Each structure stands twice: as C-alpha cells, then as structure tokens.
C-alpha cells in the first residue's frame, strides 16, 4: 500500500470486550468495571494521527465470551468500510485471547488488520500494563499494511494470531510464539517486523448454529482409563481433539474406542507438549502415531489442541461435509 492510500484511511476502531484490562478490585477480588469510555479515556492525552472510534461490545471475563459473541464480533469487523479503516483493536481478557484471535483470523472477511490486546494487570494496579498494550496495538496498526492480518500485542511484542500461546499465568511477558518467532516488536514507537505476516488462511462463513458442532478437547494421560473415553464417545460429540503424548501417541488400551470413534467423527491428534508437530512416520508400535493415523485419526500437525478444537468447531459449524479433508488442508497451510 502506498503512503497516500494509507493516509486516505484515517480511522481505527477500538472494540472493548472486558477482561483484566477493564477490571478493578472490588471487595477483595478483580471483576469487570471499566466500560469502553473509561478504559480508553487516557487516549485523550495522546497525539495519534488517526480518528479513534470506540465500540463497547461487552464487559466480561474472557471465560464468558461465547461463540455467538465471537461470530457477531467477526461480522461487525467484516462490515467496517475498508476504505476508511486502518485497523481494529480488540481489547479482551488474556485467558482466551489465543483462541479468539485465531478465530477472528478465520472468520473476519476483511482486509482490515486486527490487533487483539489485553492486560496481565488490572486497571487498579499501580503499574497497569493495559494502556501501554493498547498504545502498542495502535502502533502496530499504524505501521502495518492492511492484509487482514490478525495479531496479539502485549508487552511490546507482536505475535501472529495463529502461533501465539499464553504460557504463563501472571507474568507481563506471558505470551510466546514458540519456535515460529515473534511477528515483531514495538520499538521506539514503531513496529520492528521480525517476520512477515503469514499467508492468510481461507476464510470460513458460519451461522450462529453451534448445535451440531460439539468438539471436546481431551488431554491423554499416563495409563488413561479407556472406560472414561468410552463414556465420552457415547455422549456423541461431533468431533474429538486429543492432546496426545509426545509426537502423537496414546496407551494401546484406548485403540479400540478411538478407532470406533474415528469411523464416525473427526478425531484429531495433537500433542500435549503444545510445541512441535505430530510425527507421521516415526513410531510404528500400537498406539504410536503411524498406527493411529492408519486407524483413521487425523493429524493436527503443528496446531496446539485448543487451536485445533477451534478450527474443527468452526469447520463443523460451516458444514459437516468433508470436515476431515478440509481440516487437513488448513493444517497444511498453518505453517
Ligand atoms: N486473567 C484474565 C485476563 O488477563 C481474565 C480474563 O481473561 O478475562 O484478562
């Protein structure tokens, strides 16, 4: 994009959803407090060369954001005029930010960039990080081309939505892109890009109907009890994502039920290590990844379990047809 084209678009919208960034101490515990106006009041004092619109979407802990909220949010962003907007900042709780940002990457049908941010410290904290994170998110948008990229910005670091993970409960630097590396860093008020924006993923249109798309994420543990898994499969989920052992392994006692389930529904193999890809042709023992893939389970590739569950759920909401093949195509393009 040329500088002239960029200058023609002079608006950024900040959409507030809630989270710690908007929480205050109340009767000894943090709870949602600041609405959009109060949260963003500090921006009055900052000279920023864009018009900032505020939209208060909700004010909840991120554990209480739902799929219907997420779809409404994506539709709202899609409806914004791309000739006016440089980008959108979404503020929300950090607990589910890695899932919602990835979902926006799949759902928002727009070339407007989206920077999702939050805070590790509440608005009551003497050194709250919320305002700094919002400013960094604005700076990312000011310095990046509109390709429909979705990033998570916290602690001056910029992460591609599809790679970012929350890896600590309370540290300011709680987010990591692992081996993929940072998308960039906000340095001296500008974006220093370390990596290019990843190739956009194919967008998914979904209706708000989530009834046929129950997907359970299940970590597999040492000597996991097969009867428990049998009960879960009987309940009739539309899909199952396993955070399996190591590079894609399970105890062999689970094989009959997993094979049975994989005949009916997509059963995705991810790793509970949450780092590195599932192997395909390394371990040949019963319950090893070669055995599981041969029994009809599908590889989650590099996707951590929570992102595989998000992708599978949105794919099933889009259409139950060919969900295994379509899931595998996304996995190939993920990295
Ligand atoms: N601890 C969370 C946060 O960082 C709470 C939430 O996700 O809403 O915002």
133 Cβ inside 6 Å of ligand 1: no
Atom of ligand 1 nearest to the CA of 23: 9
* Closest C-alpha to ligand 1, atom 6: 93
Atom of ligand 1 nearest to the CA of 61: 8
In this prediction, residue 1 carries a pLDDT of 46
Per residue in 238-251, pLDDT (tens digit) is: 999 999 999 999 99
CA of 25 to the centre of ligand 1 (A): 13
Atom of ligand 1 nearest to the CA of 97: 7
Domains of the chain in start order, with CATH, are 3-193 (3.40.50.1170), 215-333 (3.40.50.40)
130 Cβ inside 6 Å of ligand 1: no
Q: Is the pLDDT of residue 5 over 60?
A: no
91 Cβ inside 6 Å of ligand 1: no
Percent of the chain with pLDDT strictly greater than 90: 91
> pLDDT band at residue 209, thresholds of 50, 70 and 90?
confident
Q: Is the pLDDT of residue 2 over 50?
A: no
Atom of ligand 1 nearest to the CA of 119: 4
Q: Is the pLDDT of residue 272 over 50?
A: yes
* Closest C-alpha to ligand 1, atom 9: 93
In this prediction, residue 39 carries a pLDDT of 97
HEC readout, the chain = CCHHHHHHCCEEEEEEEECHHHEEEECCEEEECCCHHHHHHHHHHCCCCCEEEEEEEEEECHHHCCHHHHHHHHHHHHHCCCCCEEEEEEECCCCCHHHHHHHHHHHCCCCCEEEEECCCCCCCCCCCCHHHHHHHHHHHHHHCCCCCCEEEEECCEEEECCCCEECCCCCCCCEECHHHCCCEEEECCEEEECCCCCCCCCCCCCCCCCCCCCEEEEECCCCCCHHHHHHHHHHCCCEEEEEEECCCECCHHHHHHHHHHHHHCCEEEEECCCCCCCCCCCCCCCCCHHHHHHCCCEECCCCCHHHHHHHHHHHHHHCCCCHHHHHHHHHHHHC
Across residues 301-311, what is the average pLDDT?
Answer: 98
In this prediction, residue 44 carries a pLDDT of 93
> pLDDT band at residue 335, thresholds of 50, 70 and 90?
confident
> pLDDT band at residue 103, thresholds of 50, 70 and 90?
very high
Q: Is the pLDDT of residue 9 over 80?
A: no
Pocket test for ligand 1, best of 22, 33, 94, 152 (most atoms within 8 A of CB): 94
Per residue in 132-146, pLDDT (tens digit) is: 999 999 999 999 988
Pocket test for ligand 1, best of 118, 123, 154 (most atoms within 8 A of CB): 118
23 Cβ inside 6 Å of ligand 1: no
Q: Is the pLDDT of residue 233 over 80?
A: yes
């Amino acid at each position: 994009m040329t500088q002239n084209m960029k200058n023609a678009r002079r608006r950024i919208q900040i959409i507030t959803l809630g989270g710690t960034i908007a929480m205050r101490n109340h009767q000894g515990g943090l709870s949602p407090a600041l609405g959009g106006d109060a949260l963003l009041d500090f921006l009055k004092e900052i000279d920023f060369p864009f018009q900032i619109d505020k939209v208060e979407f909700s004010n909840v802990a991120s554990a209480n954001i739902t799929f219907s909220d997420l779809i409404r949010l994506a539709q709202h962003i899609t409806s914004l005029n791309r000739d006016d907007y440089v980008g959108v900042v979404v503020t929300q709780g950090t607990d589910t930010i890695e899932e919602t940002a990835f979902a926006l990457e799949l759902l928002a049908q727009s070339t407007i960039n989206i920077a999702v941010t939050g805070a590790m410290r509440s608005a009551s904290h003497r050194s709250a990080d919320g305002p700094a994170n919002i400013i960094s998110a604005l700076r990312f948008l000011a310095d990046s081309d509109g390709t429909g990229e979705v990033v998570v910005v916290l602690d001056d670091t910029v992460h591609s939505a599809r790679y970012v993970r929350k890896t600590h409960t309370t540290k300011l630097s709680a987010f990591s892109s692992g081996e993929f590396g940072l998308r960039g860093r906000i340095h001296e008020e500008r974006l220093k890009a370390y990596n290019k924006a990843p190739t956009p993923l194919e967008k998914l249109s979904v209706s708000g109907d989530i009834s046929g798309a129950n997907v359970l994420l299940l970590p597999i543990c040492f000597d996991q009890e097969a009867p428990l898994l049998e009960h879960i499969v009987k309940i009739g989920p539309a899909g199952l994502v396993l955070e399996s052992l190591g590079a894609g392994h399970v105890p062999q006692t689970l094989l009959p039920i997993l094979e049975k389930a994989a005949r009916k529904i997509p059963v995705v193999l991810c790793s509970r290590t949450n780092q590195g890809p599932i192997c395909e042709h390394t371990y040949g023992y019963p319950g090893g990844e070669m055995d599981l893939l041969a029994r009809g389970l599908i590889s989650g590739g590099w996707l951590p379990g929570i992102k595989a569950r998000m992708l599978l759920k949105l794919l099933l909401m889009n259409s139950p047809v060919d969900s295994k093949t379509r899931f595998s195509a996304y996995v190939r393009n993920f990295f």
